[in-house]
Amino acid sequence: MVKVAEAEAIIQGQCRDFGAEIIPFDQALGRVLAEDLQADRDFPPFNRVTMDGIAIQFQAFEKGNRSFKIKATQAAGEPAKELQEEADCIEIMTGAVLPQTTDTVIRYEDLEIQNGVATLLTENIKAGQNIHRQGKDKRQGGIVASANQVITPALMNVAASVGATEIKVKKLPRVVVLSTGDELVEVHEKPQPYQIRKSNSYTIQAALQQFKVLAELRHLPDNPEQIRTELLDCLKAYDVILLSGGISKGKFDYVPEVLSELQVETLFQHVQQRPGKPFWFGKHPHGALVFAFPGNPVSTFMCLYRYFFPWLKISFGLDTKKFFACLSTDFTFKPELQYFLQVKLQVSEQGKLVAEPVEGNGSGDLTNLVDADAFLELPAERTHFQAGEVFRVWPFKQLF
Ligand SMILES: Nc1nc2c(c(=O)[nH]1)N[C@H]1C(S)=C(S)[C@@H](COP(=O)(O)OP(=O)(O)OC[C@H]3O[C@@H](n4cnc5c(N)ncnc54)[C@H](O)[C@@H]3O)O[C@H]1N2
Ligand code: MOO
Ligand SMILES: [Mg+2]
């Protein structure tokens, strides 16, 4: 049996680079950027007017001029017009290029316009106001988004602005999710009283979609020959096998034995944790990795978030951020196992992330996961945990 930190280190020692591929820009949301995106022009690309109003020469205001004859109107999308006389102005719209020879924009709210003449209603005018200067945000050639981050809606904005119709992203690993067990029936089927519907595989598949990984689903019956045939096929066809169930001490838990027969090296078996103690991890000589999660739904789920996603993020070149939360109430857990307590998270008015335990009925209670937001990781070497103490937390729900 290995400690949680040892299991984590062994798994992270097996991170992979799956390379990169170029895909159309409109399919890139949620993928990981594999190149730096550069500004093809300055940001903004011209002196951009930021208020609807008039453009003047500030020197005219300085000389005491407070009324300006409107010589022209310039909309966004029009080339820059030119102001000839300092006694005049150009009506100008937000998003338009600053007209040539002007340097200051006054908004309509500070003007009265009558008979084609704009008169100032305020003395509070500053040279250069209401202009977003060319290149102020980024210079041409500068990096507007660096590689190794998830393509978010905000990043799409930048990608579109630089005309990146195609984007280089990290390739996705080929993943298969294997359910095991003769007690499982399909979701559309009506189970016999002694059967249950398959659910873990759908949870795993759904969670992987967060990273745009489209996993295939397969099922292994409790039959060593069939497990062997299926696993042999999967070891050739996939980079990662995510398995749930069939790995503990039961008479029909054939998975670890068959994996060994197929030359999959055991990198660890059993982790000092609850849930998920029987967790098994191994590697095939040709490269495929096998994460064999214990079948109980909460165990599978916890191991997915605690071990697989960090592995995936590191493989993608992403940062693995650490989160901590404050326990809301005293809690006791006696076994010498790292305990992953299901909690609800809330940000207090003091700005603290507070974790409140959600009582459940152990690792078979999948209904409890719906009410919880995260796992709070309580160290194995301790028994009593006090309200206010801070521990590492593994969120599995969007909090905001
Ligand atoms: N003698 C011992 N028995 C058990 C031990 C032990 O140390 N000694 N460990 C227990 C722990 S902890 C866990 S967790 C489970 C792990 O069992 P397996 O990985 O072998 O999983 P199964 O036996 O196949 O199933 C366990 C449980 O989960 C349900 N299950 C399995 N797959 C799915 C699925 N795809 N969707 C929904 N539910 C699933 C299955 O029906 C069982 O109820 O072993 C304990 N036993
Ligand atoms: O510790 Mo097992 O993984 O819960 O039921
Ligand atoms: Mg079992």
pLDDT, tens digit, for every residue of 68-93? 999 999 999 999 999 999 999 999 99
Q: Are 99 and 81 in contact (CB under 8 A)?
A: yes
The CATH number of whichever domain residue 246 belongs to comes to: 3.40.980.10
| Distance in Å, CA 281 to ligand 2 centroid | 16
Domain boundary among 267, 290, 315: 315
Residues 303-307 have a mean pLDDT of: 98
Token digits of residue 154: 């905000």
State whether 165 and 25 are in the same domain: yes
Let me know if residue 291 belongs to a domain. Answer: yes
Q: Confirm or reject: Cβ of 204 under 6 Å from ligand 1.
A: no
The CATH number of whichever domain residue 93 belongs to comes to: 2.170.190.11
| Distance in Å, CA 266 to ligand 1 centroid | 19
State whether 294 and 357 are in the same domain: no
Q: Name the residue at shortest CA distance from atom 4 of ligand 2.
A: 275
Residues 255-263 have a mean pLDDT of: 96
Let me know if residue 400 belongs to a domain. Answer: no
Strand partners, 116: none
Average pLDDT of the chain to the nearest whole number: 97
State whether 161 and 188 are in the same domain: no
pLDDT of residue 359: 83
State whether 299 and 201 are in the same domain: yes
For ligand 2, which residues put their CB under 6 angstroms from it? Answer: 274-277, 294, 296, 299, 363
Domain boundary among 146, 170, 194: 170
Indicate the number of domains in the chain.
Answer: 4
Q: Confirm or reject: Cβ of 300 under 6 Å from ligand 1.
A: no
Q: What is the pLDDT of residues 355-371, one digit of tens each?
A: 999 988 999 999 999 99
Q: What is the pLDDT of residues 56-72, one digit of tens each?
A: 999 999 999 999 999 99
Among the bound ligands, name the one nearest to the CA of residue 295: 1
pLDDT confidence band for 398 (50 / 70 / 90): confident
Domain that holds residue 76: 48-132
The CATH number of whichever domain residue 142 belongs to comes to: 3.90.105.10
Element at 226 (helix H, strand E) = helix 224-237
Q: Confirm or reject: Cβ of 2 under 6 Å from ligand 1.
A: no
User: What CA–CA distance (Å, rounded) separates 280 from 303?
Assistant: 10
| Distance in Å, CA 340 to ligand 2 centroid | 11
CA angle 1, 244, 4 (to 5 degrees): 30
Element at 112 (helix H, strand E) = strand 111-114
User: What CA–CA distance (Å, rounded) separates 110 from 124?
Assistant: 9
Domain boundary among 270, 296, 315: 315
Q: What ipTM goes with this model?
A: 0.97
Strand partners, 384: 332
Query: Could you identify the atom of ligand 1 that is nearest to the CA of residue 180?
Result: 32
Instruction: Select from 269, 274, 368 the residue to mutate for testing ligand 2; criterion: most ligand atoms less than 8 Å from CB.
Output: 274
